[in-house]
Amino acid sequence: MHDKTMTKVSWVLVAVFSLMPSLFADKFADRVAESTRVYKELIEAPDRGIPQSLLEDCECIVVIPHVIKAALGFGGRHGNGIASCRNDQGAWSPPSFVKFSGASVGFQIGVQASDLVLFMMTGKSAEALVKNQFTLGGDISVAAGPVGRTVEADTDIMLRAEILAYGRAKGLFAGISLEGASLRPDHTAIRKFYGKRTDPEMILMEHQVPKMPDEAREFVQVLH
């Protein structure tokens, strides 16, 4: 009886481990699909959307859906998202995966979720995406992005900031301050999604990946 039980357990474990790669792939595919949805909702906002000139001039885009902000006196934020950069011909790269984290202080309590979209406006900010980690507002300047289709590209905000940030907690997107937060590559997600270890620089700067999953292809199409 004991041997039969152990045999059943062994077969269950074999089945679970055999399914793990596909389960991980589904998890990261869902992240790409959710990021695609968030970005589409931002650019399709009817009246308080982002300036068209920003879309045309940015070097890279980072989308981080469902960032969790939790606090009890001292707070923190954490989220997982994707990034894409375009080359000199205007073609967007396959998505690379990133992790986002930050802290906040002051009297606060509760848990809140929000979607974030970051526009990298300079070559320096684009190159920072392939580093181990960089700090928003420290290594790279960041500002709340201007809202409205008619905002001119030569406003002070868009001239000064290397990254323009938008967040949505309830309803419409709005410019958001992310001073002190950090971004870093998510190497585990990259490996699980694309099936093998791939360097973020190869993805974002050289536009090369081992394969192009359908979810990645759809995200790239939305950016064009």
β 109-120/60-72 pair status = antiparallel
pLDDT of residue 77: 75
The secondary structure of 48-113, three-state, reads CCCCHHHHHHCCEEEEEEEEEEEEECEEEEEEEEEEEEECCCCCECCCEEEEEEEEECCCCEEEEE
How does residue 14 score in pLDDT terms, banded at 50, 70 and 90? Answer: very low
First to last CA, the chain: 62
Neighbour count for residue 221 (Cβ, 10 Å): 10
- The H or E element containing residue 184 is strand 182-185
Per-residue pLDDT at 75 exceeds 70: no
Tokens of 171: 């309803």
**pLDDT tens digits along 172-223:** 666 676 777 889 999 999 999 999 999 999 999 999 999 999 999 999 999 9
How much is the mean pLDDT over the chain?
Answer: 77
Contacts of 191 (CB under 8 A, 6+ apart): 197, 198
Q: What is this structure's pTM? A: 0.79
How does residue 148 score in pLDDT terms, banded at 50, 70 and 90? Answer: low
CB 47 within 8 A of CB 172: no
Q: Please identify which residue in the block is written with the tokens 């937060």.
A: 181
